[in-house]
Structures are given as structure tokens and as C-alpha cells.
Amino acid sequence: MKLAFSTLGVPGLPMADVLRLATAHGYHGVELRAHPEEPVHTGLTPAERTEVAAEFKAAGIEILSVAGYTRVAAPGEDEAVIAEIRALLTLARDLGAPYIRVFPGGSPDQTPEEADATAARRLGTAAEHATDAGVRILLETHDSHRTGADAMRILGLVGHRQVGAVWDVMHTWLGGEQPVESHAALAPHLGYVQVKDIASTEDTTPLPLGEGILPLADCVEILSRHGWDGWLCWEYEKRWYEKAAPLPDLLTPGRAHLSRLLNDSA
């Protein structure tokens, strides 16, 4: 498996500095948070996109994913949501990233069936653009669809190879699923896995990997046992928790912890 970290842990940091961190601490790739407050977003010009792609290529670091914030199950008109997805797909294509990340984002005002159908309809439409771009759309286990079983209700309706899943191990666990259950649901559609650690179900402040309660060892063991050879991406949510320790100082110990888990499961 290859290791990446998310720029959510170093909000607003210039790409040159992100690449220095990845190189210095032994990571293979980076998940880019695509938001207007970040250096990379859908408003970049063609020249700016070319520059970012060239920086990553020169550093020998892969862009794992363009992590967007489109909420595919949210109430409203389809056109605006599909346009957001297409913009993310075009950005990922231009940067050479294989994936984009989207959220479910269903509303309490919807029935589960309505949310599922809305998300599946939009993802199915956007899948054709994803095919043309050569990029996969990945639905993260999050918010209204935080478990693998929840996400599969949508993915099963879509049934398209260009639409898959990001397994956020915190959300599936907080949703009451054990890792073996989450893996069983998501394995046919899995793009990559987001790892993290937290203190408790009540306190989700990010902790260094291995210092919290999330079953990371179980997740890695299950993935290894089933021969999965994809990406583990450390999503350290510093952006939302100002008092969390700075990520750069944690990157080397975090990589070492993931490497130990991989060695133990080999």
C-alpha cells in the first residue's frame, strides 16, 4: 500500500511547502483539498494547473485525489450539483489525479430513499463525464451516509465503474460498523482509505496515529488479508480543530505507525 496525507492538515500551505513535507517525511502522495481558500481549486487557470502538475511531477509525489465538497444527495436542482462535479473532474484530469472526492450531504427533510435516488441520479449522469476525463468519482462515507452500508445503497443504484467510494474509517466506526463490515460493503467499489485517530466518540479532535481509539490495525489487517494494494491517506483535520497539534511534526511518526501496521499484517 502507498501512503498519502491530506492538505486538510496543513490548510493554506503553498504547494511547494506541501511537496517538501511529503518528500522529507516519506509519503508517496497527497490528497488535495479543493477549496477557494486553498492553493488548488476549480478556479485555477490552465497555466496554474499546468504549474501545479509540473511541481508534483518534479518532486516525484503523486496527486492522489482532488477532495471537493459537492453534496450529491442534497435537495435542490441537479444541474448545479452536476456542474460542480464536472468542474472537479476537469481539475483532476488537468492535474493528473485519478480521483475526486464528493460527499453525500443528504438532508433530514428527505427520506433515505429520496436521498439515495437523488445522489445516484446525479452520480450516474456525471459518470459519463468521468469516463471522458479518465477520473473516478469517489463518494466518501460521511454525514448522511457515514457507513459502508449507507454508501452502498447509493453505489448499488449507480452501478458504474467510474463511481466508487472513499472509506473514512472514523465515520464508519462512529456509525456503528466494524471494519470487517465496512470492508465487505465497500470492497467492490473502493478507491482509497482515509485513516485518522481520535480520543473518543464524544471528542473527535485529531490525534497522532495510534494514540486514539479507532481500529486502524484491524482496518489495515483486513485490507492486507484481502490483497488490497491501494492508498492509505492520513486525513488530519487540523482545519477544523485549531488546538490540534501541528501536522508537520507528526508526519514521520505517523508514517512509521502505518508502516508498522502494514508490516504486522503482511
* Domain 2-265 -> CATH class: alpha beta
pLDDT in tens, the chain (266 residues): 999 999 999 999 999 999 999 999 999 999 999 999 999 999 999 999 999 999 999 999 999 999 999 999 999 999 999 999 999 999 999 999 999 999 999 999 999 999 999 999 999 999 999 999 999 999 999 999 999 999 999 999 999 999 999 999 999 999 999 999 999 999 999 999 999 999 999 999 999 999 999 999 999 999 999 999 999 999 999 999 989 999 999 999 999 999 999 999 87
Task: Report how far residue 116's alpha carbon sits from residue 114's, in angstroms, rounded to the nearest whole number.
Answer: 5
The ranges assigned to domains in the chain are 2-265
pLDDT of residue 21: 98
| Nearest Cα to Cα of residue 230 among 180, 181, 190, 259 | 190
What single-letter DSSP state applies at residue 245?
Answer: P
Q: Provide φ and ψ at 182, rounded to 5°.
A: -65, -45
Cα distances (Å, whole numbers) of residue 174 to 41, 53, 68, 98, 105: 30, 36, 22, 28, 17
What's the angle, vertex CA 179, arms to CA 250 and CA 85, rounded to 5? 75
| Nearest Cα to Cα of residue 3 among 264, 261, 265 | 261
Task: Report how far residue 53's alpha carbon sits from residue 29's, in angstroms, rounded to the nearest whole number.
Answer: 13
pLDDT of residue 265: 87
Task: Report how far residue 49's alpha carbon sits from residue 57's, in angstroms, rounded to the nearest whole number.
Answer: 12
